[in-house]
Amino acid sequence: MSFNVQGLESIMTRSLPDHGLPLVQLKEQRRDLVVALQNRNGPVGDWELMQIAAIQQAISAFEDVIADLDAEMEMEAAA
């Protein structure tokens, strides 16, 4: 069974609940992509892996910025 790009697009473009938090939305997109892959037969293709990897990189970048901001706030609070 081949990967359905249109299905991926509909998952990525469907209206997600707006939590006002891009990090939450990215994690929801990643979850949706992984679930879509789990619900199909056949090997995982390069395109699917690239999509998940790109979202994971964005999530990691957000988490790094949040950790830096938290550390700065803690240092300011201690001063």
For residue 2, what pLDDT is reported?
45
Q: Which domain holds residue 29?
A: 22-78
> Residue 33: inside a domain, yes or no?
yes
The token pair that represents 33 in the structure block: 């992509």
> Residue 4: inside a domain, yes or no?
no
Residue 24, burial from CB neighbour count under 10 angstroms (0-12, 13-18, 19+): middle
For residue 79, what pLDDT is reported?
84
> Residue 12: inside a domain, yes or no?
no
Q: What does the pLDDT profile of the chain (79 residues) look like in tens digits?
A: 344 545 555 555 555 555 567 899 999 999 999 999 988 888 889 999 999 999 999 999 999 999 999 999 999 999 8
Q: How many other CB atoms sit within 10 Å of the CB of residue 47?
A: 11
The Cα 79–Cα 77 span in angstroms is 6
> Residue 14: inside a domain, yes or no?
no
> Residue 48: inside a domain, yes or no?
yes
> Residue 66: inside a domain, yes or no?
yes
Q: Give the total number of structural domains in the chain.
A: 1
The Cα 52–Cα 30 span in angstroms is 6
For residue 64, what pLDDT is reported?
93
> Residue 8: inside a domain, yes or no?
no
Name the DSSP letter for residue 42: S
